[in-house]
Structure 1
């Protein structure tokens, strides 16, 4: 067996940031190190995908400084936005990490969306390989960005087993987890909950205030809701508190406008929670049909009706709970994610190794 080779992983800002993408990359970095790879962690400016010229120059210089013998995994917030000419000067073989194309983000001005599409499309031509979290993102890159199928590997996120047994509270807790950003659709969820005043429930929305203006808008929407006393915007919580909330919940709800994968859905399945979400992006591929109710995005009334169906029919809710629990038990761990990425790194290192020369891990 080939010895694990050296590689690098470039990530913008604090790797401990609480988003699905950062959790994925932190666990991947840890997993690759556990497999024996000498992984250089390169911290780039946190401003990506919107760096100023000085930060762009700093990132390009850092990437150009990576040893060409180290395959370089480049985070999608950077890869999709970095100057193409700067990226072309990077000597290390680049492995793009694409959770979902940046041009598919919510609330982008048309000119900004077009710029991100063109930049990411051009940059993908420079990547030796691409890692994606889902078959859905793989299809987008093939069909809309022209990436050859053979240059894309799906490295599905892993899942940790719950640390607490289910202990649902009364009234039933509807739990939503996702950064406070327009794409996550918490505004739609609040609107849907506002249509259920006659039912008995409580709701908690957990999420890092990624977009401060949107977080403030959500607070105003919740305060103005006729059910304001039953909706709690918890913001960022500790891992222990999040585990307690999952154990206490009866329903997981996320009115997302788009997901390249959606790690929180796997977390909900692992905790045996029926899911109410939207038929968009990778969600239908991630949420088994027996374990959730999916409605069109941007449709608060349809979301409210799905929540109503589970709140008023305990037998149906229990049926979805059992299916969610069964699906959750079958989810892979993070070790498999690392092994998929490791195979890509090893193959690129082998392809670049001089004929008859020593391996990088030798």
Structure 2
């Protein structure tokens, strides 16, 4: 009996940890499990630091196909360069480090070096692909776009049209400060907003968000990280998702909302416009609290607009890729490498 293809997959530690929920972890988990379901032998190695990542690369047999999460790749550019001649390296780029205004020169250089030795690059949006090419970080012939899939969920009507939701790690690039500034401008009463996400990676920013949120007298709730059931319940309670990011490759929260037919107000940044293609969303200028507040006022005060966006969101969900589609795209890229 002929065995299927095999791949060594290097991902950050905690892919399955419910306390470390992130879009990247969700994506990595679906790829790992989806490839195995398609008959691949997947040697999944979770690494905690540069030392473990370098050891995992150096310990691989010659000609091994190695899929490296972009976060891990950024830790070990030198090891990737050393091993590139004997391993078939494929990089999974969830983001473009160089696109972040606060990215360090070292991180940008590490990204450039890692991409430079990858035989193939898998990205999660067309925007990411275009940005990598525009910055001269890789050749378009080496890129495969594999957008995040969804699991369709039949969601009921929310209790209130004014129940707002924002999902994502509390971080400057996610723009929760812009959201709070926008909420402070709202004239429509009785709205609520749940902000879901970890406060650990950027503690100073998260502390400032918590201080600002406390001024809203309970209308803004910071939930921290929610497990799968808790997050599903948060979506069920919400009428509108807000994605105020300054930089975003795609937006897993947007995909989750669209899988439920929930409209989205998102910033016109990165891959968000692509993620909202097909309707069911409003786009606003990034880092513009007044523009975001105006969009939220329109949502809460205009019943025909709400009805239209909901209809569009329900229609759009039928054309969303599934995780099976995503895994198939990744498998083709790996096979070609």
Q: Contact 2:187–2:297 at 8 Å: present in 1 too?
A: no
The CA RMSD measured in Å over matched residues stands at: 1.7
Quote the residue 2:232 is aligned against: 243
Please tell me whether the aligned partners of residues 254 and 278 of structure 1 are also in contact (alpha carbons under 8 angstroms): yes
Query: Which position in structure 2 is the counterpart of 1:7?
Result: 7
Equivalent position to 1:64, from 38, 50, 58: 58
Q: Distance in 2 between matches of 1:30 and 1:308?
A: 42
2:32 maps to which residue?
Answer: 29
1:96 aligns to what? 91
Partner of 2:77: 83
Select the residue among 94, 111, 114 that pairs with 1:123: 114
In the alignment, is the contact (CA less than 8 A) between 2:188 and 2:300 conserved in 1?
A: no
Query: 2:155 touches 2:261 (CA, 8 Å); kept in 1?
Result: no
CA spacing shift, 1:323–1:66, aligned 2, 3 Å: same
Q: How many residues align?
A: 330
CA distance in 1, matches of 2:143, 2:3: 23
> Who wins on radius of gyration, i.e. which is larger?
1
TM-score (norm 1): 0.87
Give yes or no for contact 1:80–1:101 (8 Å, CA) kept in 2.
Answer: no
> Does the 8 Å CA contact 1:106/1:257 hold for their aligned counterparts?
no
SS at match of 1:199: coil
* CA–CA separation in structure 2 for the residues paired with 1:64 and 1:261: 32
Q: Distance in 1 between matches of 2:275 and 2:318?
A: 14
TM-score (norm 2): 0.93
Deviation at 1:208, TM superposition (A): 2.0
Other structure's SS at 1:268 match: helix
Q: Distance in 1 between matches of 2:202 and 2:146?
A: 28
* Mapping for residues 1-362 of structure 1, pairs under 5 Å: 4-16=4-16, 17-45=20-48, 55-84=49-78, 86-90=79-83, 91-105=86-100, 107-108=102-103, 112=104, 114-162=105-153, 164-170=154-160, 172-209=162-199, 210-224=201-215, 227-288=216-277, 290-348=279-337
Shift of 1:247: 1.8
Q: What's the counterpart of residue 357 of structure 1?
A: none
